[in-house]
Structure 1
Amino acid sequence: MGERWDAIVIGGGMAGLSAALMLGRARRAVLVVDAGQPRNRFAAHMHGVLGAEGTAPDELRRRGRAEAAKYGARFRAGRVERVDVDRDTATVRTEDGDALPARAVVVASGMTDRLPEVDGLGSRWGKSVLHCPYCHGWEVRDRRIGVLATSELALHQAELVRQWSDRVVFFAAELGTLEPDVERRLRARGVDVVTSPVVEVAGEGDDIATVRTADGAEETVEAIFTIPHAEPHDGFLSHLGIERAQTRMGSFLAVDTAGRTSVDRIWAVGNVVRPAANVPACVSFGATTGIEVNMALVTEDFDRAAGRRADAG
């Protein structure tokens, strides 16, 4: 792997594999560096994914790797320590000391979901503790569902979850005292509001049966939706001074619609820049970015060829 790649994709999740597939089909030399820790590894099945409804995430990644490999993409396990950029090359430096040069880098390294420090919550993540009603709402429809507030976004989440069940309880302590009109709005649709902080989630195995609050009360629920703190995996780029976007879910790399960052030769796609993007969105964004990276390289190829011809003339 001592060659100079056309593109190195950092991350082997849905967005990264989609970009690699497009680049491979464009006859580009592509390397995918994959740490093997995809965000959705905690979920047994994906939903709302056209043509792959109910498929395990690992299975879709396996298919994606095979498809990208069919068009020449290569794969390497490992983590990236930093990326350096000069005029002609972006160099990906791995934690095991290798320097991998490329004409373009696609950052698809994903993010980590940081859950509230509540006993019993983290061990049920992706099973009965959930974040996306579109991904998991159908499976828990008509049950008694809790929504654990972590930020103002929880108000939107509580209203959304009400579409799947008329038995919703909103654990609002993190938001402090709710404005009377906000509480009235929730209760108007039958959402119960609990203001005491949640201290424990209990049940058998991966299932939830009870939520205990600081005042000693217990609420019976069968699933909990919550919005974790989003922690993008972009620290290896921090020295480059890439522009960032401040969103309601935190600070993320700023990109245009093609995934291009403010630093030449660096693109970013997937949950590392869009924490709310589900699998279909990540696949779509990855394909778009792969196409845009190829077009940038095509343009560069012609610019260089025309320049050499002009110099020769």
Structure 2
Amino acid sequence: MVDVEVIAVTDQLKDRYDVVVVGGGAAGLSGALMLARARRSVVVVDAGAPRNAPAEGVHGLLALDGTAPGELLERGRADVRRYGGQVVSGRVDGVTRDGDRFTVALADGRTVRARRLLVTTGLVDELPDIAGVRDRWGRDVVHCPYCHGWEIRDRAIGVLAVGPMSVHQALLFRQWSEDVTFFSHTAEPLTEEQVEQFAARGIRVVAGEVAALEVADDRLTGVRLADGTVVDRDAVAVSSRMVARAGFLADLGLRAVEHPSGVGELVPADAAGRTSVPGVWVAGNVTDLSAQVGASAAAGAGAGAQINMELITEETGRAVDAARDAFSAASEARVSALVTGDRNHGL
């Protein structure tokens, strides 16, 4: 039986915390849970715009496969609150350093101070400007075969060439279906090697710019080219450009950088999540563009443990310094007493 104190749900921020977590997804809640269980004062500030909101379920997450994204987050919030952590609604607009602490400014005018900052704000999927793509995103317009491949297995799948990973994406989705069509759209021509690979795997290539996706009875039915040709498809895979939500870190000198593959922008950090700005940590998609929910949760938990250890090290150093100062003061007092005693004895 878990021995925890039940804390009332509140959006009332305290003046300061050991750690402010910006972003309330899998990474942020896992990091906050680890810190709350370590008896740290922690608050999660969540803007309420999870990347996976359009999806029906979270997949590939052991024991929780198929759980609705909203349900998973609600369970996570409850876990954090059971151990005394706070989860509040709000959008962080900026962060500045204030001595050895950070001041976190929310869009509604509230501010809060923290000794450490864990950023888990995730990313934004920038989608091609093709009619129907945004409306069907997360349903029958997908990007990750490990997230959605099983749900569209053995169906007619189209892959739109809109990013540097499109060829790779087509080869991946071929694992889930024998009926895969690659729409070259406005991309550079395929190399001889890619043509050979597609032919060997039975992936059809359709040339011409894509104008729109066809939808009927609330389901995707095909891909319409600019010349009016419609190719029947049940699902379409699109490589989005993934951009970290990190603009609010600019005043700290921390900015997103381009991923080497060209698929988007991320906040650089070491393997533990430590950024180039002391005291600022990142976890999840904001620094790992390809991380799924399970990997993001693990990264958040790991970063939480590392932050706790960093705080312990800092507190231990202060305690040692205080003990040394106390010992030095006591020693000086004893020496002073002895000298005074000797003088009195001499009189």
- Is the TM-score greater than 0.5? yes
Aligned to 1:65: 77
Cα distance in 1 for partners of 2:149, 2:88 equals: 36
CA RMSD of aligned residues (A): 1.3
CA 1:105–1:10: 2 relative to 1, 3 Å: same
Deviations along 1:78-132, one digit per CA (max 9) or x if unpaired, are 1001111244101111111122001111001111111100111110000000011
In structure 1, what is the Cα distance between the partners aligned to 2:185 and 2:106? 43
Q: 1:220 matched to which residue of 2? A: 232
Instruction: Tell whether the 8 Å contact from 1:187 to 1:193 is kept in structure 2 after alignment.
Output: no
Partner of 2:169: 157
1:300 to 294, 298, 314: 314
Partner of residue 236 from structure 1, selected from 245, 248, 257: 248
1:310 aligns with one of 298, 302, 324: 324
Gaps of 5+ in 1: none
Q: 3-state DSSP class of the match of 1:174? A: coil
1:183 aligns with 2:175: no
Letter in 2 for 1:155: V
| CA distance, structure 1, for counterparts of residue 127 and residue 202 of structure 2 | 27
Aligned residue in 2 for 1:210: 222
Which one-letter code corresponds to 1:137 in the other structure?
G
What code does the residue aligned with 2:106 have?
T
Between the aligned partners of 1:87 and 1:174, the Cα distance in structure 2 is 51
The aligned residue for residue 9 of structure 2 is none
2:340 corresponds in structure 1 to: none
Q: Could you tell me how far 1:244 is from its partner in structure 2? A: 5.0
CA apart distance, 1:205? 4.5
Residues 230 and 250 in structure 1, CA contact (< 8 A), matched pair in contact too: yes
1:2 Cα deviation from its structure 2 partner: 3.3
Number of aligned residue pairs: 313
The 3 A distance-change label for structure 1 pair 205 and 95 is farther
Corresponding residue of 1:193: 205
1:4 aligned partner: 16
Q: Which amino acid aligns with 1:48?
A: G
Distance 2:256 2:129 in 1: 28
CA distance in 1 between partners of 2:43 and 2:132 (Å): 39
Query: Is 2:47 aligned against 1:35?
Result: yes
Q: Match for residue 112 of structure 2?
A: 100
Deviations along 1:39-89, one digit per CA (max 9) or x if unpaired, are 100101111110101110111101100011101111211100111124410
Unaligned runs of 5+ in 2: 1-12, 329-347
CA distance in 1, matches of 2:250, 2:195: 41
Give TM-score, length-normalised by structure 2.
Answer: 0.87
The answer on whether the counterparts of 1:170 and 1:193 sit within 8 Å (CA) in structure 2 is yes
| C-alpha distance in structure 2 between counterparts of 1:263 and 1:12, whole Å | 22
Work out the percentage of aligned pairs sharing the same amino acid: 44
2:314 is aligned with 1:282: no
Letter in 1 for 2:268: A
- The secondary structure found in structure 2 opposite 1:81 is strand
Contact 2:42 2:86 in 1 (8 A): yes
Q: Separation in 2 of the partners of 1:308 and 1:242?
A: 34
Distance 1:57 1:205 in 2: 25
Q: Is the 8 A contact 2:249 2:255 kept in 1?
A: no
Map 1:256-267 → 2, pairs under 5 A: 256-267=270-281
Q: How big is each residue's C-alpha offset from its partner over 1:169-210, in whole Å with a ceiling of 9 and x where there is no partner?
A: 011223222223312211210001112111110122541111
TM-score (norm 1): 0.97
Question: Deviation of residue 241 (structure 1)?
Answer: 1.8
Equivalent residues of 1:243, 1:261 under 8 A apart: no
8 Å contact from structure 1 (residues 243, 262) kept in 2? no
Q: Tell me the SS of whatever aligns to 2:166.
A: helix
